[in-house]
Amino acid sequence: MSLEDFLRNNAPASLIPYLRESLSAMCLKAGLPAVYLPPINIIALLEQGGKDTNK
């Protein structure tokens, strides 16, 4: 696996949990209702996006 493949596939999967937590914390600190993003399988989404869906 090349560095480019690693960054394209694994970096988003590693960063999503931190993004979810940061968004939730910022909303709470601002006095807004908490925003909870559901967990997603980013690797499966990336694999689906690479497939041709127009048949």
pLDDT of residue 5: 82
How many CB atoms lie under 10 A from the CB of residue 44? 10
Residue pair 8/37 in contact (Cβ under 8 Å)? The answer is no
Q: Give the integer Cα–Cα distance in Å for 3 and 50.
A: 19
pLDDT (mean) for 8-13: 83
Q: Which of 11-15, 16-20, 49-53 has the highest mean pLDDT?
A: 16-20
Tokens of 28: 């709470």
pLDDT of residue 11: 87
Polymer length of the chain = 55
Q: What is the pLDDT of residues 22-55, one digit of tens each?
A: 999 999 999 999 888 888 888 888 888 866 555 4
